[in-house]
Structure 1
Amino acid sequence: MTASATTAPPTLRPEPTAPAPTRRRGRFGIHLFLGAVSLAFLAPLLLAVYASLRPYEETAQYGYFSFPRRLSFDYYRQAFIDSGMSKYFLNSLLIAVPGVLLTLFLASFVAFAVSRLRMRGGILLLMVFTAGNLLPQQVIVTPLYVLFNKIPLPYWMSDSLTMYDSLWAVIAVQTAFQLGFCVFVLANFMRTLPQEILEAAIVDGAGVWTQFWRVTLPLCRPALAALGTLQFTWMYNDFLWGLVFLSDGDKLPVTSALNNLRGEFFTDYNLLAAGSVLVALPTVLVFLLLQRHFIAGLTLGASKG
């Protein structure tokens, strides 16, 4: 036998890995850092909840970081009743829900045309929609104010017979400013979908509407859920547009209801904290209901090459 025949083939040695204690220490450090960052973001909310459960006299005497002597939910009942928060909640929902649905509906149309159809100037159109997000909203407050006062509406749509002082004005502005961001996100997401699915639908005789509504849009459900959560939070929490375009106090969104809790000469900040917590509850509820789809929408594409 030759020497080469008797020589055993070389064995592959595994790559050296870090010892288990080192990996555990690294994982513990990451968890500790993430916990500290989460606590830093939650600290203002936790302080507001803590202050809303204590009487103002107690915090004025002992400070907000003192040990509580008495806790109660009296401020929440008082904040809800004194501010008339129920009608303002309804106003915010009448603005946010149609605004979100209209924004996602229009953005999905544009994103589909830009990313899935072979059309000239698609990239330029996407750049125009994206550039719209760079325009400061406060710059066009005065032009929009003048414009909405000149746009007529029928009496059943607006008491003022114009677009000014109607919820339609706030919905239109919210939709216009959020449309560019949604188009940008949806277009990039649709580009990650396999082109073969659309080609198979075309071979089966599907038209453009079928390709959009029955093939592409169901695959975008996680992205739509993530965008819907963000858009509802932004539109619901907005304070500027309702204050500018609504002169009737009964039509203002819920964020303006907090002004009703401020006294002329004295402000109970514990009562104001209770009102702030009540105002934030709908957005927290929406996130809890859609958190699975929201997280899936954020992580889609993270493992793709």
Structure 2
Amino acid sequence: MTSTQTRIGHTYRTLDVPVAGGDLRVAVWDPAPAKAAAPDVLLIHGVTSSHLAWPFVVDRLPGVRAVAPDLRGRGASNDVSGPAGMRAHAEDLAAALDALGIARTVVVGHSMGAFVAVVFAHLYPERVSRLVLVDGGLPLDVPAGLDTDALVAGILGPTAARLSMRFADVQEYLDFWRGHPAFRGDWTPELEDYLAYDLVDDGAGALRPATSYRTTADDTRDMNTGTGLTDALAGLRHPVRLVTVPRGLQDEEPGLYAPEHLARVLAATPSVRHERLDRFNHYTIVMSPGGADVVAAAVREELAAAPTP
């Protein structure tokens, strides 16, 4: 375990939690000064992301203990072996909560993390009080019958292509991202930390993104064609708040949820409370000061509404 003071209002530490296939890296931001009975929130990142997607949001949650794993196959959990998929991630999250002695918590998921959150709430209903889904968690509009590669390319595009690239050093990787349309006007030191953390040694003298294409493909296929999500949505029993944005991974419109498709999936899940925010894209809704303001405000409201342990 490591521990270091980072940002005002929280002390950051990490621990490695044994799960099937290896050790899951879990980050914890404890309130500073310490609180005897701080509320908890579990933060779940996206398909090629890591726990360092969340510092902007955590900064806006004073007095809250925030827990964020690197999902298996990502970040410092990139060497956890065995299959991925929504159930595997849910089982890992339960192990992380057990290790921290957290019985029940508000769960927040971004992108693929929102799909994981829905399945986790279905498989472990007693561990979840309320759900906040950020631009994910309800079915995407994908054609039936696509093979896995076409499915990944259609949803993730250049995000998936990046996983096969190699970089000489961290600076080259940062320069690659500087031209990304999603972060035009939203480049920050926190983003640089997030990107640098993504890199691991490829074993041949270069650096590569920690997330493998195979892991990404397994998860993308499962969340779009598996039964875990449909079963979870059919059995939805927790209060759910969904935040969507009109711009996608390349800052393009209409984003992951086109208005017509979004209307259909919301009609099929009428218990979900929905907010559409016009100013952000799929990344900046979490990884920018303005987006984090909105997400953190929603999280604080859900924490206030959650039952007291």
* TM-score range normalised by the length of the shorter chain: under 0.3
- RCO (CA 8 Å, sep 6+): is it higher in 1 or 2? 1
Given the two structures, how large is their TM-score scaled by the length of structure 1? 0.22
Indicate the structure with greater helix content. 1
Given the two structures, how large is their TM-score scaled by the length of structure 2? 0.22
